[in-house]
Amino acid sequence: MELGNIVADTVLLKAREGGGGNRKGKSKKWRQMLQFPHISQCEELRLSLERDYHSLCERQPIGRPPRQLATNCTQRLEQGPCKELSQELTRVTHGYLSMAPFADYLNSIYFNRFLQWKWLERQPVTKNTFRQYRVLGKGGFGEVCACQVRATGKMYAFKKLEKKRIKKQKGEAMALNEKQILEKVNSRFIVSLAYTCETKEALCLVLTLMNGGDLNFHICHMGRAGFPEAQAVFYVPRSACGLEDLHRERRVYRDLKPGTSRWMTTATSSSPTWDWLCTCPREMIAGQLPFQQRKKKIKREEVERLVKEDPEEYSERFSPQACSLRSQLLCKDPAERLGCRGGSAREVKEHPLLKKLNFRRVGAGMLEPPFKPDPRAISNSHACLEDLGPRHASVMGRFTALGNLIAGWKQT
């Protein structure tokens, strides 16, 4: 068994590094797979595609370097003497580009090439589109393995949701909802859904592959359990930004760990959108959940009572500002909690613990992380599957309707 793991790890590492040679993990037939169709094959797409300026120019991904360049430019404008003019100049520029220049673009060869790329994106996706490698994690509905797109060599996480288990658990609504949310959300702080496909036994989600492992693994394996506060402060605002991006899509994050009492807020049914965020810094810094004692079991009923009634105690590892953030997010009165007073994400970002952070640079991924995991490590995660999956054939059809999804700028 150990030898099998070593072989599987070696094969996966080789795939992640490009597999050697000039193809960088691509199939021998990659040119044929990515061959552009004749423009006449794209006429139906030309008629069905949204052809407004906002959809074609503002919402399309531009790649990470241009995004960082735009962020730097915006910061310089806002810090300079012309900061009052930057928003007006942006509005005027977009207004001009959306008129005659945009009309010229729609009639140009560049728009034809855009249509050809879109045609390639919409080609059917099957399990044979990918090479599958070792299993990274297992859960109640299936398993997650690493995979590689044959045509491009790009690595992803391949999540299989077994139909029999899904049907037994009646998880079709949750699966479809998750898939639809991930289609729409384009956030650096939420994994992207790149493809969906279906096999005889499973529904498959192809997601961003997080090579560094999950936070829980590193929290428990950093020597002394938990992170230094400065390191935790690096991760907490990213969680807040992820929630904010969901809110922009009018999605409410109801509960981080449904049914797990130590993750419960004091009034889960009232305002569970931001309150779960208070548990993250607690576990990151202390290395354990609220109201938890090492090597001591506490009954669920007692934990629920503690969550609702007792104030939480903080160790010397928490600074006064960290305690303040926790206590405001954990306020017993939901109406008084941070993030629930009408200001939403702005209230959280303006807390003294986070106020000094430049959230524009956070959003563009331009801050250097305090800790970088070993990129060659394989077993640094405790991956598990969520309760996802359609039940009926009609739902399964909707689940795999858009087999190839556009990836956001954060992935490029």
The answer to whether the CB of 219 falls within 8 A of the CB of 287 is yes
Q: CA 105, CA 102: separation in Å to the nearest integer? A: 5
The Cα–Cα gap between 301 and 298 comes to: 8
Joined together, the tokens standing for residue 7 give 């072989």
Sheet holding 130-139, edge to edge: 130-139, 142-149, 155-162, 202-207, 193-198
Tell me which residue of 190, 188, 193 sits closest to 207, measured CA to CA: 193
Beta bridge partners of 53: none
Check if 214 is active-site.
no
User: Is residue 167 marked as binding?
Assistant: no
Please give the distance of CA 233 from its chain centroid, rounded to a whole number.
Answer: 19
Nearest to 80, CA basis, from 91, 72, 68: 72
Catalytic residue among 9, 214, 255, 387: 255
Beta bridge mates, 137 = 144, 383
Cα–Cα nearest to 276, from 286, 293, 261, 287: 261
Cα–Cα distance measured from residue 248 to residue 254, given in angstroms and rounded to the nearest whole number: 15
Dist CA 30 CA 32 (whole Å): 5
Residue 361 CA to residue 68 CA, distance in Å, equals: 8
List binding-site positions: 168
List binding-site positions for ATP: 168
Residues with active-site annotation: 255
